[in-house]
Chains A and B, each alone.
Chain A
Amino acid sequence: MNRIRLALSLASASLWYRRRVLALVCLTLTLSVTLLLGIQYLRTEVRQSFTNTISGTDLIVGARSGQLNLLLYTVFHIGDATNNIRWSTYEKLQQDQRIDWLIPLSLGDSYRGHRVIGTNTGFDERFRYGDDQALHLAEGQWFDDLFDVVLGAGVARQMTHRVGDRITLSHGGGSTSFSRHDDLPFEVSGILDTTGTPVDQAVFISLEAMEAIHVGWESGVAIPGRTLSEQKARKRTYTPENITAVLVGLDRPILTFQVQRELNQYSGEPLSAILPGVALSELWRMMGQFEKALLGIGAFVVITSLVGLIAVLLTLQAQRRREIAILRATGASPALVASLYTLECVTLALVSCVLALLLGAGAIAGLSPWLLEQYGLQIGLRPLNTAEWALLGSVPVAALLVSLIPALNSWLNSRQQGFGGSD
């Protein structure tokens, strides 16, 4: 017990004595541990928000295509649909007894780079994300009027829109579309709460409005004289001919595979029905390679810093000959001398880990409003999970292992050292 106390007090005094040199090593180690831990933390966060993008939906139905493509354009608003599905197909689905609810999605337009989604009130009522969370409106209400529009939280924040603002949608995707639906402006009726999902970046209008703004656009561009004015538009009734995709909720999820098989073999038109969970995990498997590579790089950076730490400790060892000779002559065993190196190395690693935790927590706390503002990334402070603690814990363990190099070296030297440090 006394030995341990002596070794600890000597090691801490020695560390403090060499604090100037070691502070730099400690800083390097701190930064690299912060990087490693940060990557792991973000990995967990990103994976979480990734799998949180959609929940409660049993099937996504669209025109025949691969499941990743269908998932990407319906849920993540990335890429374009290969084809549409007929409204009659949607109506047929509505009559299916096994189906509880449907959310039609009609894509194709944009508002300053944000996807416009034509849907109905079912989206507000039935769409779920995260842990079965429903959408909430931060302001106003879900669209009611033909020319009402609901904005995702990110869109409203980025464009600084409030309820009552009037906006003009563009035809097609992209942020600098030249064909705009400027004769039929929309009024913001509601703004959604932040969800941390692609919903934040979307703009919602009714299916009818989607039809109305495209009257006269059948050839792909507006033909003068055939488009509608607002008064004329309000007088008509609209039935869409096509929609892009449908989110399907079943009465009994056990029937999912049965319904999926039937839809995939639907004779009316070629359809694809996918299970969102399966498609998400396939997508994550692809992206997972990338984040594993990132973690690997982080680990290498930590190893590099540890090698640097050992290099410094070995350099200091030359300077410490005298001091070691004094300790040996006073009766310290080679094991005690060697344990000083191990203790110092592990202590440095522990200090770095604590600093990295503080630095990481500070960075997340400080940057999270900015990340949300700029990138719509919702990353908050949370307690570390087991994997993250294990990763953090591996740093002192690695330090202990690498410290055996100078420790063994010094143990061998001090066994051979003569009186007064000469040999």
Chain B
Amino acid sequence: MTNQTAFTSAGSATRANTIETRRLTFCWPGQPDSITFPDITLTRGEHLFLHGPSGTGKSTLLSLLAGLQAPETGSVRLLGQDFSNLRPGRRDRFRANHMGVIFQQFNLVPYLSAQGNVTLPCALSASRRDRTRPDVNTAASMLLEQLAIPEAERHRSVTTLSIGQQQRVAAARALIGAPEIILADEPTSALDTDNRDRFLDLLLTLAGEQQSSVVFVSHDRALARHFHQQAALGDPA
């Protein structure tokens, strides 16, 4: 379902993989050992499940994929571009244009409303804004509707939302403007089982509808069956 729809708005190569990492290692300053990561190849619309015990560098890998950190060795190619060798400013622009992110918790800017949080990526990226139909606010409302955030909650302070609602607002923010890549760092760990399944279902369905690739980190291996691929970190190699 993937290879033939390779999408390259930024890259020059056609049929490029959405995510392609090779021999990535990273070393935090002051730490003696580098972390070695498994290679990842993800085509457009494919979802990847990353699991591994705590401290095996799951969040670090997401940092590298998001371009917030530069790898020690190895390369990250996103949408056909040599992402890890871009200048920091270009990586920021790329992230704004092509990535949505969801954290474990505290996902929302506290002084913006739910609507304001969802439309934030469109304020930072013209291409995300241009990809919303029919316009940014309607698209945000539609996403919030699909993610079951009541109308009344959308323009109020996000601090009154429940954890489950907050995570769904974060998902809407990651999805808006149809970015090619969505990075999710244990977004369900603070949710109960019902909420977790509902969240995952909504996220993957909506991401699938707009051909976004989801990289989903969790230590809960029961979730792995929802994904096209899975990779494990921290395996003794």
Contact = CB atoms under 8 A, between A and B. Distances in A.
B113 to A, nearest CB: 9
A6 B116 CA distance: 11
Interface stretch (B1-9, B118-126, B229-237): B118-126
Given A13-B111, A322-B106, A420-B104, A330 B124 contact: yes
Interface of B: 59-60, 62-63, 66, 68-69, 88-89, 92-93, 95-97, 99, 101, 103-104, 106-112, 116, 120-121, 123-126, 173, 183, 185
A326 B63 contact: no
Given A322-B106, A415-B88, A418-B68, A13 B96 contact: no
Interface string A395-423: 00000000000000000000101111110
Contacts of A13: 111-112, 116
Interface string A376-408: 000000000000000000000000000000000
Contacts of B66: 329, 419
Interface of A: 2, 6, 9-10, 13-14, 16-18, 322-323, 325-334, 415, 417-422
B146 to A, nearest CB: 20
Contacts of A330: 95-96, 101, 120-121, 124, 173
Interface majority SS (helix, strand, loop, mixed), chain B = helix
A331 B125 contact: yes
Contacts, number: 83
Contact of B93 (A325, A329, A331, A422): A331
Nearest to A422: B59
B124 A418 contact: no
Nearest to B88: A415
A421 B105 CA distance: 11
Contacts of A329: 66, 68, 95, 99, 101, 103
Interface majority SS (helix, strand, loop, mixed), chain A = helix
A10 B68 CA distance: 22
Best-surrounded residue of A2, A322, A334, A419 (most CB of chain B within 10 A): A419
B190 to A, nearest CB: 13
Given A330-B121, A419-B59, A16 B103 contact: no
A421 B68 CA distance: 10
Contact of B63 (A327, A333, A418): A418
Given A17-B110, A326-B107, A331-B93, A418 B60 contact: yes
Given A330-B101, A331-B97, A16 B111 contact: yes
A18 B109 CA distance: 13
Contact of A325 (B92, B103, B112): B103
B124 A6 contact: yes
Contacts of A334: 88, 92
Given A331-B92, A333-B92, A326 B108 contact: yes
A332 B111 contact: no
A16 B173 CA distance: 22
Best-surrounded residue of B66, B111, B120, B125 (most CB of chain A within 10 A): B111
